[in-house]
Amino acid sequence: MPERIGITLKVNGEEVRQEVPVRLNLADFLRQELALTGTHVGCEHGVCGACTLRVNGRIVRSCLMLAAQADGCDVQTIEGLAASGEIAALQNAFIEHNALQCGYCTPGMLFAAADYVAARRPPNREAVREHLSGNYCRCTGYQSIVDAVCEVAAQDATKGGHK
C-alpha cells in the first residue's frame, strides 16, 4: 500500500488537488493542509460531533473519514457554510439565545442544526434534542441550543410549512 495518495475534491466550491498520507483523516486534512480550522477535533473517535461537516450534502464526522475517501467528493466546512448565507438565521439565533459558550462545539452543532432546519422539520423540542444527540456541548446544558433551533424552525414554518 502506498504511503501517500493523490486526491481531487471540492472544498467549499473550490477544486482541491493534493497528495495526502493515506492515513490522514478528513478533519486533519482540512485543518492542517487547507488551514480550514473551523472544523474542530474533540474525540477523534466519532462520538462528540465537534468535527461534523457536509460531504455530498450529508452531515458526516470528518474524524471517521479518511481524506482519501473524500476523493471526488463535495465537502463543505463551517467556513463555506457561513459564507454561503444559508445559516444566517441559525447563527443569529445562536447568538441571541447564547446557544454557545466556548464555541468549540458550535461549527459541528450548526451543521447538525442546519440539517434539521433544511429538512423543514417542525419546532418540536424533543425532536430537536433527538436530532442533536450526537453533538456534545459541555458548556450550555443544551436548552439554549434547542431554543435557537426551534426558533429558526418556527420561522421556517411561517415561510413554507413543514414536511
Partner 1 sequence: MTVFDAPNSYIGRSIPRPNLSRLTQGRGTFVDDIELARMLHAAFLRSPHAHARIVKIDTGKAARLPGVVRVLTGTDIAAVFKPYVGVLTHLQGMRSPPQHPMPADVARCQGEPVAMVVAESRAQAEDAVEAIEVEWEELPAALDMERALEPGEPVIHPDFGNNLCWERNIDTGGVDAAFAAAHAVVEETFHFGRHTGVTLEPRALIADYSKAEEALTVYYSGQSPHMLQGTLASRLQVQEHKVRVVCKDVGGSFGIKIHTYGDEMATCAAAKILGRPIKFIADRQESFVADIHARDHRVTARLAVDKDGHILALEMDDLTGIGPFSMFPRSSGVECNQILNLTGGPYRIPQYRARGRVVFQNKAMMCQYRAVGHPIAVAVGEGLVDLAAAKIGMDPAEFRRRNLLPDDGYPCKSAAGMRFEGLSHQAALAKLLKLMDYDKLRAEQAALRKKGIYRGIGLASMIEVTNPSPMFYGVGGARIAAQDGCTLRLDAAAGLHCLTGVTEQGQGLEAVMTQIAATAVGVTLACVRMHTGDTDKTPYGGGTWASRATGIGGEAVLQAGIELKRRVLEIAARLLKTKPEELDLVESKIVKRGTSEQLMPLYELTRIVYYRTNELPDDIQPELVVTRHYRVKDYAFVFTNGVQASYLEVDTDTGFVRLLKHWCVEDCGRAINPKLVDEQCRGGIVQGIGGALYEHCIYDERGQLVTTTMADYLVPMPVEMPEMEIGHVETPTQTSALGAKGAGEAGTGGAPAAILNAINDALAPLGAKVNAQPSTPEVVLKALGKI
Binding site for partner 1 (CB under 8 A): 21, 23-24, 31, 35-45, 47-48, 50, 77-79, 82, 91, 94-96, 98, 100-107, 110, 125-126, 128-130, 132-146
CB of 105 to partner 1, least distance (A): 5
29: DSSP letter: I
CB of 116 to partner 1, least distance (A): 12
Q: Which is nearer to partner 1, 109 or 161 (CB)?
A: 109
CB of 134 to partner 1, least distance (A): 8
Cα 46 from Cα 38, distance rounded (Å): 17
Q: Which is nearer to partner 1, 88 or 119 (CB)?
A: 88
Q: Which is nearer to partner 1, 72 or 154 (CB)?
A: 154
CB of 122 to partner 1, least distance (A): 17
Q: Which is nearer to partner 1, 14 or 161 (CB)?
A: 14
CB of 161 to partner 1, least distance (A): 25
Cα 136 from Cα 81, distance rounded (Å): 20
Pairing of strands 74-76, 52-55: antiparallel
Q: Which is nearer to partner 1, 113 or 160 (CB)?
A: 113
Cβ-Cβ contacts under 8 Å for 130 (sequence gap 6 or more): none
Reduced to 3 states, what is the DSSP secondary structure of residue 14?
strand
Own/partner contacts of 45-49, CB < 8 Å, gap of 24 or more, are 47/134, 47/136, 48/105, 48/108, 48/135, 48/136, 49/105, 49/108, 49/109, 49/112, 49/134, 49/135, 49/136
